Amino acid sequence: MQSVIKVSNLTKQFKGLTAVNDLSFSVNKGDVYGFLGQNGAGKSTTIRMLLTLIAPTSGEIELFGMNIKTHRSEILRQVGAVVEKPDVYKYLSAYENVALFAKLSGVKVTDKLVMDQLAMVGLASRAKDTVKTFSQGMKQRLGIGIALVHNPQLIILDEPTNGLDPQGIADIRNLILSLSKEMGKTIVVSSHLLSEIEQVASRLLIIDKGKKLVEGNAHELFDPAQTIVEIETTDNLFALQQLQQSRWQSMLQPQRSHSILLKLHRNQIPSLHKNLVEMDVQVISLQPRHNLEDFFLQITSNNQHVQAFTN
Amino acid sequence: MYKLLQIELYKIFRRPRTYIAFLAITALVGVIQLGLVKNGDDYVNFVMGNVMQSFSFDGKLLNGYLVCYILLQLLLVHVPLLIALVAADMISGEANMGTLRLMLTKPISRTQFLLAKFTASAIYTFMLLVWIAFLALFVSMFLFGVDDMVIQKTNYLVQLPVGDVFWRYVGAFGFALLSMLSVAALGFFLSNFAENSIGPIVATMSVIIFFTILSTMSIPLFQKIQPYLFTTYMVNWKEFFDPKVNADNAVIVGSLQHPDRIIQSALILVLHIVGFVGATMVLFKKKDILS
């Protein structure tokens, strides 16, 4: 498999703070590579290093088999990116912004090129309007349109759904899938929301405090059979005592103040519910959790599992 | 590089802020010219009262050339503030808008990016001076006509024949361009350190005002440091209006009293421009873009 990004032992320190710590990963051609981590985990710093906005303290970055330090321009010609907020020139129109950045990317600017790009992100009808009149979602789409205007092979989207409404999020998701499946682009998409990434990513990397936690294929990583269940009752202390004396004891997870967490097989959920009723526990809610925080709980509570993917 | 420069100029001239300077200059020059049209003779009598008691003048004392000289003395103190509005915004403005990171993910080098930006600021400065020249010199020549130009210096009076003035203005405006470029370079340099425009604009203005005060006050303590302040050399455009005189105290046409001062001042200003822009490049190339 041809590697589009190869990062080796990447470290970035800011005045004593290690934002990225000995990070290594690779992205293959055609991947939709999910880059997950909580806010402050080091995702944006890593992405900025990939785009030469930040210089690494140590480590190597290769894109398309070329070193980013020595072949910067050649590499960036093949990369389109939206880094955090899609900020563009607010006093210019959508058309002018796309044309300006297309020119900067070395593309011959034609009316058709610009309008096609705006149509692709659903902004053709607002082409002549200044960006200051746009909503956050429209700016996000314009940012993506600009990132794609020079037909890059690698697309890097840093938190592309930030500030978007559900329809906007769905639009971005569909666009990512279409770019990957129909146009064969390699896409790196970062997010702190697992639910977003799992719907589009073929491979993913999870980092925390600048260090790699897990890297692997998404379908292997997200074992749908295993889940964390959060239970809220009228008396959590009583419920916890009951569970500790039952066959569920080994599945209990580090506790939170207002709920009880258990890690179990999805098929066991009806049985758990039945047992709770039998134990006279009054359940207010019982729901499988599916967010990054709980996923971290899962992977950090099972070293073997982490090890398998890390290797 | 040419493509980048085109883009930078396009961005400058699409921003409403850019035109504040042109409007301010137009308003200021227009008001002064109007005042001089109405009460110019009174003004000249007031300014040159002592001299007029000792000498008699033929012709038009208040002519286009003298009006331009009066305007330049007033304007060239304030124009740096208008130049700072654009030059000090060049990098910090992009950082503030968030467009800096988008620009720098494009296949252009940081050196090219900065050179294009500074060249665009320089072109803006040049255009502003051309506009000042048009209003202050050509419009004044049209409104007040031309004649010999009489200027009162500290200890003596200079009378430049009408045919010996225009080239001096060309030189003075050329020198003023260097002065203003050094202001633009300072603004550009300070722009590298901030992520909003206000800070570097105010800092540039403050440095210019502070240094200008130190440069112009005849206090022994300040006089010791004046040679080290670039603002000291910014006012030397006036040297173009100081000609050599012959044994009869008549002006030698086409001459300059102190060409060495002009050359030295110009070189010092060029060094400052190169220094400020060079330092910006060195710092910016190493800078992590976190905005």
In this structure, the answer to whether residues A171 and A27 fall within a common structural domain is yes
In this structure, the answer to whether residues A31 and A109 fall within a common structural domain is yes
In this structure, the answer to whether residues A130 and A179 fall within a common structural domain is yes
In this structure, the answer to whether residues A272 and A149 fall within a common structural domain is no
- Residue pair A88/A99 in contact (Cβ under 8 Å)? The answer is no
H-helix or E-strand spanning residue A27: strand A17-28
In this structure, the answer to whether residues A203 and A236 fall within a common structural domain is no
Contact check, Cβ <8 Å, A52/B288: no
Contact check, Cβ <8 Å, A104/B289: no
In this structure, the answer to whether residues A135 and A62 fall within a common structural domain is yes
Q: Which two tokens stand for residue B114?
A: 């900065």
Which of A14, A87, A91 is nearest residue B15 as measured by Cβ atoms? A91
Chain A residues with a Cβ under 8 Å from any Cβ in chain B: 14, 48, 51-55, 72-74, 76-77, 79, 81, 83-85, 87-92, 96, 100-101, 103-106, 143, 146
**Residue from A139, A200, A162, A141 nearest A43 by CA:** A162
The tens digit of pLDDT for each residue in A67-125 reads: 998 999 899 999 999 888 778 999 999 999 999 999 998 888 899 999 999 998 888 89
Contact check, Cβ <8 Å, B102/A52: no
In this structure, the answer to whether residues A211 and A192 fall within a common structural domain is yes
Choose one of A198, A221, A244: the last residue of a domain: A221
**Residue from A228, A222, A224 nearest A251 by CA:** A228
**Total domains, chain A:** 2
Chain B residues with a Cβ under 8 Å from any Cβ in chain A: 3-4, 7, 10-11, 14-16, 97-99, 101-109, 286, 288-290
**Residue from A94, A87, A93, A134 nearest A117 by CA:** A94
pLDDT at B62: 85
Q: Which two tokens stand for residue B79?
A: 């124009």
Beta strand A79-82 with A154-158 is: parallel
Residue A3 bridge partners (DSSP) = A28
For residue B118, pLDDT over 90 is answered with yes
Residues on chain A touching B97 (C-beta within 8 angstroms): 87, 89-90
pLDDT at A311: 36
The length of chain B is: 291
Place of tokens 């308003």: B27
Choose one of A221, A255, A272: the last residue of a domain: A221
Spell out the residues 6+ positions from residue B11 whose beta carbon is closer than 8 angstroms to its own. Answer: A89, A92, A100, B120
Contact check, Cβ <8 Å, A103/B7: yes
- The chain B residue lying nearest A143, using CA atoms, is B102
What is the value of pTM for the model shown?
A: 0.82
* CA-to-CA dists, residue A146 to A121, A123, A233, B5, B142, angstroms: 10, 12, 50, 20, 50
Residue A42 to chain B, least CA–CA distance (Å):
13
* CA-to-CA dists, residue A122 to A107, A115, A216, B63, angstroms: 21, 10, 34, 62
In this structure, the answer to whether residues A251 and A151 fall within a common structural domain is no
CA A215, CA A34: separation in Å to the nearest integer?
10
In this structure, the answer to whether residues A208 and A107 fall within a common structural domain is yes
The DSSP code sequence of B171-224 is HHHHHHHHHHHHHHHHHHHHHTT-SSSHHHHHHHHHHHHHHHHHHH---HHHHH
In this structure, the answer to whether residues A195 and A256 fall within a common structural domain is no
pLDDT at A111: 92
Query: Which three-class secondary structure state does DSSP give residue A298?
Result: helix
Place of tokens 């009808």: A125
Interface probe, candidates B15, B101, B197, chain A, greatest A C-beta count within 10 A: B101
**Residue from B288, B40, B99, B250 nearest A143 by CA:** B99
Average the pLDDT over B1-24 and give the result. 89
Query: Which three-class secondary structure state does DSSP give residue A293?
Result: helix
pLDDT at A310: 40
Interface probe, candidates A48, A49, A57, A84, chain B, greatest B C-beta count within 10 A: A48
A vs B, Cβ pairs < 8 A, gives 75
In this structure, the answer to whether residues A112 and A38 fall within a common structural domain is yes
Tally: H helices and E strands in chain B = 13, 2
Please list the ranges in chain A whose pLDDT falls under 50. 303-311
Residue B102 to chain A, least CA–CA distance (Å):
7
Please tell me which of A203-207, B38-42, B182-186, B218-222 the model is most confident about, judged by mean pLDDT.
B182-186
Residue A14 to chain B, least CA–CA distance (Å):
10
Q: What is the CATH number of the domain that holds A268?
A: 3.30.70
Residue A198 to chain B, least CA–CA distance (Å):
27
Tell me the pLDDT of chain B averaged across its residues: 88
Residues on chain A touching B103 (C-beta within 8 angstroms): 104
- Residue pair A3/A27 in contact (Cβ under 8 Å)? The answer is yes
* CA-to-CA dists, residue A140 to A84, A159, A168, B45, B165, angstroms: 10, 10, 9, 66, 59
Choose one of A174, A191, A221: the last residue of a domain: A221
Judged by average pLDDT, the poorest of A62-66, B13-17, B113-117 is: B13-17
pLDDT at A309: 39
In this structure, the answer to whether residues A285 and A199 fall within a common structural domain is no
Contact check, Cβ <8 Å, B105/A76: yes
Q: What is the CATH number of the domain that holds A44?
A: 3.40.50.300
CA A226, CA A189: separation in Å to the nearest integer?
25
The tens digit of pLDDT for each residue in B166-216 reads: 999 999 999 999 999 999 999 999 999 988 889 999 999 999 989 888 888
Contact check, Cβ <8 Å, A89/B286: no
End-to-end CA distance of chain A: 18
Range of the domain at A149: 3-221
Average the pLDDT over B89-108 and give the result. 89
